[in-house]
Amino acid sequence: MIRNRMKPLDSWDSDRRNVRFVKYLEEGLTMVQAAKLVGVPYEAMRRRRRRVAGFEDEVMRAMAAGDEERKYRAWLHHPFRGKRPPTGKGHGGKPRYTYGRR
């Protein structure tokens, strides 16, 4: 039985993917989104961060550089943005906490 396997990446292709991954992190994407755009599974990028010398430092620097944009994107897509969070139905707008009372 022949399995459909991808050929292993050579070092040149791997280096290009690392550079693109870091660039996407600097632009404010999450690690999962950046890995998907690069075309590598997220777990593979996590392993690569541990194995490739200096790559962890580059990733952390890029994450710090894109932190404000990442926070803005998270706020922009938050379901309660501009709204009052739900407090529970049928309780007069009060949360369902009893604080020891029934």
Residue 37: inside a domain = yes
Predicted TM-score of the model (pTM): 0.67
pLDDT tens, 48-93?
Answer: 999 988 999 999 999 999 999 999 888 888 877 777 666 656 555 5
Residue 95: inside a domain = no
Per-residue buried b or exposed e for 7-17, using 16+ beta carbons within 10 Å of the residue's own CB:
eeeeeeeeeeb
Residue 89: inside a domain = no
Q: Token match 């961060």: residue?
A: 49
Residue 82: inside a domain = no
pLDDT value of position 3: 57
* Containing structural domain, residue 72: 13-76
57 near 65, Cβ under 8 Å?
no
Of 73, 84, 81, nearest to 30 by C-alpha is: 73
Counting DSSP H helices and E strands in the chain, the numbers are: 5, 0
Domain count, the chain: 1
